[in-house]
Structure 1
Amino acid sequence: MSLREISENMKLAREYALLGNYSSASVLYHGLLEQIKKYVYTVRDSSFQQRWQQLWQEISEENRQVQDIMSTLENFQLDTTPAKPINHDDYESRPVHVEPRHSPCPVKRPANPYKESKPANNRLSMAVRAQQRHSPRGANGDKSRPSKGKDKKETKEPKEAAGASKEDKNKADVQEKEVKKFDGTGYDKDLVEALERDIISQNPNVKWDDIADLEDAKKLLKEAVVLPMWMPAFFKGIRRPWKGVLMVGPPGTGKTLLAKAVATECRTTFFNVSSSTLTSKYRGESEKLVRLLFEMARFYAPTTIFIDEIDSMCSRRGTSEEHEASRRVKAELLVQMDGVGGASENDDPSKMVMVLAATNFPWDIDEALRRRLEKRIYIPLPSTKGRVELLRINLKELELAEDVDMDKIAEQMEGYSGADITNVCRDASLMAMRRRIEGLTPEEIRNISRDEMHMPTTMEDFESALKKVSKSVSAADLEKYEKWIEEFGSC
């Protein structure tokens, strides 16, 4: 949608309201509120987002006033068709003074296309309207004494009007929750915006079924993160959730995918942190970024902070190559991790901040960080069953020939990581295309139709791909991982 479309709908809704066509105006106002709500999600600048939120509240207020006018007119229609003989006592008890209502549209101003499309910052007018709406005084400042008849009339208002106002209130509450913004008072505005723009990812959309094998790792992560969200009363005291989980394993085994699956299944905000995110050239800025990261995580809780390649940020302290700035960043990270959830028996799991870390070099991690990452699990190379599952996941959108035997292919990929298996599948899927365009000129390649390129992948293609793609993890590396996890593992 465009700003011009939103502006045109706003003008049309106000024109209908001025002309007295309140039903059409109400429909346009509802559609306009939904358009603004969707547009807010596309705005990255927090100041602009706040101004759009103020505009949404003003439009919602206009819509509420139109609803009030419609309900008042409906009451008049009900009152003019009495179901019983007129009683003069009842007639005299009706209120003579009718409290004036403000027009649902603002005062018409000179035409200015810039002002029409610019969200209005009208806090004062909203405050005045709210004060007039809730104040017991009339329009001239005198106190109006409500009569008994007025109370009776108010109780006779139809349920539809009350339901409409309640629905508007619920929509406003939902909108306020959806656009909840972190208050970065005391921090540099650019730092807050950089963190929100670069590392906050709502619902990464990776399911457990998208990850083949690794059943032990999935079970432990569910116990560490998912179950405390489902059973908050049970995970208290000594059974508090784990503060940190370290995933150790060779490259390409699915450590990052596991972290994203945790964030998706728990409906948590996912912070994907790397060393470049928390590094600055200015003295003291990196420590501020670390502290700001954890404060934002607590604000957006429940949160999953995933620190990939954590050995690059928290290597052993006290070595000759260590820089002073690096030591300060490590110290701040250790302090903040000690202050993350689970310290109190009354901690709410819905406010939990879980730190997930992954590394390919666990022997380089600082001892203090290793202590704070209470669960240390090994993510191994896929088993034979896991390799078959990986093949099916990677090839589910590819047409295969009848001679393709996935079990045989999986046996030939002993020692391959998940990333290596994906590379084999990608290379095999390109083999048919390579055969088709071999020896053709660029003009002939451009003239090939889509049907001619639609060729199934054969078993021969996979055998050729296996000869070209080798495994990336050596036996010596696997031995080092197994030795470390046997000494420091905590599954």
Structure 2
Amino acid sequence: MADEPSLTRWSFMDFKMFYDAKFGRKRMPETENGQKPDKPLSNGSSSAVTSNGNVHVKNTSEMAIYEQFQSQARSSTITNGVLSAQTDERPQKALLPPFESAEMRNLAESLSRDIIRGSPDVQWESIKGLENAKRLLKEAVVMPIKYPKYFTGLLSPWKGILLFGPPGTGKTMLAKAVATECKTTFFNISASSVVSKWRGDSEKLIKVLFELARHHAPSTIFLDEIDAIISQRGEGNSEHEASRRLKTELLIQMDGLTKTDELVFVLAATNLPWQLDAAMLRRLEKRILVPLPEPEARRAMFEELLPLQPGEEELPYDLLVEKTEGYSGSDIRLLCKEAAMQPLRRVMVLLEDRQEVVPEDELPKVGPIRPEDIETALKNTRPSAHMHAHRYAKFNDDYGSQIIQ
């Protein structure tokens, strides 16, 4: 084997040619002029080598993160798994900050699935009522991002905001409006995102979450149903050690030695604010009540969900507003859905009498909603969130944030 190259002088192409000749590798396809290509195949978008039909891509973990959060609003390219946008207002950062271990990097990849890229497309105008809550949110979150010059020193932005109120009143809608308006990196976090069955992983997930948020600042961490994560500590003997460690890590990350000047908002929502730990209430500096809709807001909801059609009988909006005292926004939507089902039920009775299936182009037209349909819907729909209204009012008097005119 005198013709073989010296082992100490082999290049990659030398080894590849020798391996193909020795073990009968599949020959590369020839070009039009009968010559073999000099370079291995590549897909043109990443550094790859084609071997037996398999593409080996470098940085496969980063490629997975990129594929999950590919932006639809701009054209982008992939270079070694790193997202490089061609048109953007600010320079792109790496998808993950440098971590000290592969374990922390894997936890960061799992949390990156909870990043909402792109706008949820919920405008302030699409939320009826809640003027006090919207104004406080604009003051606490939106304005510091738009005009950072004014929010320095003593006027530094609030880092923690709590939305509390009865279920179905629009707390999550307000969070979506904040994500739409601010255009920040939005982390939608629930208990399943930061609770792990492995010992020690829950508090590490909290730490990695805030490191990711600081890396992608300005960012907003939305903790939905925060009472499931950090209820009051030390209640009886039912609290597990792992749960206490998770709560302690969350408190430390929100206000501890790791606190930095990066703009990271914590936006939390709960239906049970009186179950939150006192230390967490202190860190959630703005506590905003999201109450049941007022009469004006209820009328606006009915006019949007049950609009008047030309030539149809006018609906009793005044009766609806009067009869729905104590209804939440979710209850009002269910009421309108029940009213809209009445004309469809009349059509379904006719269809059930026929033995054969009616073709789609021959289906009868659904009639308009009548005033008696509204009365039937009011009888069949009950409010679901009015039981603890007095407790929310008392909590708001004790801890809530108000705008003093």
TM over 0.5, shorter chain: yes
TM superposition shift of 1:453: 3.1
- Three-state SS of the structure 2 residue aligned to 1:256 is helix
Q: Which has the higher strand share?
A: 2
Aligned to 2:367: 455
Structure 1 residue corresponding to 2:41, chosen from 112, 115, 128? 115
TM superposition shift of 1:341: 10
Aligned to 2:239: 322
Q: 1:352 to 1:449 in 2, by over 3 A?
A: same
- 1:155-175: CA deviation from partner (whole Å, max 9, x where unpaired): xxxxxxxxxxxxxxx974749
CA root-mean-square deviation: 3.1
Aligned to 1:182: 96
Q: Does 1:278 align with 2:194?
A: yes
TM superposition shift of 1:388: 1.0
Structure 1 residue corresponding to 2:386, chosen from 471, 474, 486? 474
Structure 1 gaps of 5+ residues are 1-107, 124-169, 345-350
TM superposition shift of 1:233: 1.0
- 1:66-86: CA deviation from partner (whole Å, max 9, x where unpaired): xxxxxxxxxxxxxxxxxxxxx
1:378-397 to structure 2, matched below 5 A, reads 378-395=289-306
Distance 1:378 1:203 in 2: 25
Aligned to 1:412: 323
- 1:79-110: CA deviation from partner (whole Å, max 9, x where unpaired): xxxxxxxxxxxxxxxxxxxxxxxxxxxxx984
Aligned to 2:255: 338
Structure 1 residue corresponding to 2:172, chosen from 256, 260, 265? 256
Distance 1:176 1:227 in 2: 19
1:304–1:355 CA contact under 8 A, matched in 2: yes
1:341–1:353 CA contact under 8 A, matched in 2: no
- The amino acid of 1:391's aligned partner reads F
Q: 1:173 to 1:394 in 2, by over 3 A?
A: closer
Distance 1:179 1:396 in 2: 47
Distance 1:279 1:402 in 2: 54
Aligned to 1:310: 226
- Three-state SS of the structure 1 residue aligned to 2:114 is helix
Q: 1:400 to 1:240 in 2, by over 3 A?
A: farther
TM superposition shift of 1:483: 1.3
- 1:129-186: CA deviation from partner (whole Å, max 9, x where unpaired): xxxxxxxxxxxxxxxxxxxxxxxxxxxxxxxxxxxxxxxxx97474994685123535
2:165–2:290 CA contact under 8 A, matched in 1: yes
Q: 1:175 to 1:263 in 2, by over 3 A?
A: closer
Aligned to 2:126: 210
Identity of aligned residues (%): 44
Distance 1:306 1:431 in 2: 39
1:178-257 to structure 2, matched below 5 A, reads 180-183=94-97, 185=99, 186-257=102-173
2:327–2:386 CA contact under 8 A, matched in 1: no
Q: 1:307 to 1:371 in 2, by over 3 A?
A: same
Aligned to 2:54: none
Distance 2:108 2:238 in 1: 31
- 1:250-307: CA deviation from partner (whole Å, max 9, x where unpaired): 0000001011101111111211111111111100111111111111111222111111
1:1-400 to structure 2, matched below 5 A, reads 110=36, 115=41, 117=43, 119-121=45-47, 172=86, 174=88, 177=91, 180-183=94-97, 185=99, 186-319=102-235, 320-339=237-256, 351-395=262-306
TM superposition shift of 1:208: 0.2
Distance 1:284 1:332 in 2: 11
1:202–1:269 CA contact under 8 A, matched in 2: no
- Three-state SS of the structure 1 residue aligned to 2:368 is coil
Deviates more, 1:459-468 or 1:378-387: 459-468
Distance 1:309 1:428 in 2: 31
1:204–1:261 CA contact under 8 A, matched in 2: yes
TM superposition shift of 1:115: 3.3
Q: Which has the higher helix share?
A: 1
Q: Does 1:401 align with 2:318?
A: no
- 1:394-428: CA deviation from partner (whole Å, max 9, x where unpaired): 34598893221323212211110000001111121
- Three-state SS of the structure 1 residue aligned to 2:132 is helix
- The amino acid of 2:240's aligned partner reads H
TM superposition shift of 1:445: 5.3
Q: 1:352 to 1:120 in 2, by over 3 A?
A: closer
Distance 1:231 1:329 in 2: 35
Q: 1:217 to 1:444 in 2, by over 3 A?
A: farther
1:202–1:268 CA contact under 8 A, matched in 2: no
TM superposition shift of 1:111: 6.9
Aligned to 2:61: none
- Three-state SS of the structure 2 residue aligned to 1:322 is coil
- Three-state SS of the structure 1 residue aligned to 2:95 is coil
Distance 1:222 1:400 in 2: 41
Q: 1:398 to 1:338 in 2, by over 3 A?
A: farther
Q: 1:199 to 1:409 in 2, by over 3 A?
A: same
Distance 1:399 1:360 in 2: 41
1:341–1:352 CA contact under 8 A, matched in 2: no
Distance 1:341 1:375 in 2: 21
Deviates more, 1:277-286 or 1:264-273: 264-273
Structure 2 gaps of 5+ residues are 1-33, 50-83
TM superposition shift of 1:450: 7.0
- The amino acid of 1:193's aligned partner reads E
